[in-house]
Amino acid sequence: MNRFTRTLCAFAAVWMLAGGARAQAVARDDSLYQSFGGQNGLVRLMDDFMTRLLADARMRPFFKDADQAALKKQLVLQFCEVSGGPCRRDGPTMKEAHDGMDITRGDFNALVEVLQDSMSAQGVPFAAQNRLLARLAPMHRDIVNTP
């Protein structure tokens, strides 16, 4: 085996090992998903959340005419994905889903308050609530569309 072939083989071996190490390093962390009780816990959370959204005078106008079952399904998928669970949401982007809804920062904050109430009512640990909210927070850029 000539020097070029040995070097090429060595490079290929290092590249394969590095790829394998990288694959292990990016293994999915589902600890947040598990702290919400997995899929069943997220379904219970969304049942409570939807009830609270419809009962809240600030939120009811945004949700009263929505397809409740479809919305709940999308929220479960979204929270599952965001929390590190095995789900993948395939609906419209947040920007597309909220386009034309005239959502202000105050509306967004009110929704977060309702979500926090639901998470507390479902016994979600405070640290897990904060971790989830930190992952959801960047979405405000695509959801808030009215000054």
Q: Looking at the domain assignment, is residue 3 inside a domain?
A: no
**In this structure, what CATH number is given to the domain that contains residue 124?**
1.10.490.10
Cα 118–51–110 angle (5° rounding)? 60
Q: Looking at the domain assignment, is residue 86 inside a domain?
A: yes
Q: Looking at the domain assignment, is residue 8 inside a domain?
A: no
Residue 80 near residue 33 (C-beta atoms within 8 A): yes
Q: Looking at the domain assignment, is residue 119 inside a domain?
A: yes
Please indicate if the annotation marks 140 as binding a ligand. Answer: no
Domain with 48 in it: 29-143
Candidates 140, 130, 63, 59; CA nearest to 105 is 140
**Is 58 exposed, middle or buried, given 0-12, 13-18 or 19+ CB atoms closer than 10 A?**
middle
Q: What is the pLDDT of residue 47?
A: 97
Q: Looking at the domain assignment, is residue 20 inside a domain?
A: no
Domain count of the fold of the chain: 1
What's the pTM? 0.79
Q: Looking at the domain assignment, is residue 16 inside a domain?
A: no
Q: What is the pLDDT of residue 62?
A: 93
- The per-residue pLDDT for range 90-143, each reduced to its tens digit, is 889 999 999 988 999 999 999 999 999 999 999 999 999 999 999 999 999 999
Q: Looking at the domain assignment, is residue 18 inside a domain?
A: no
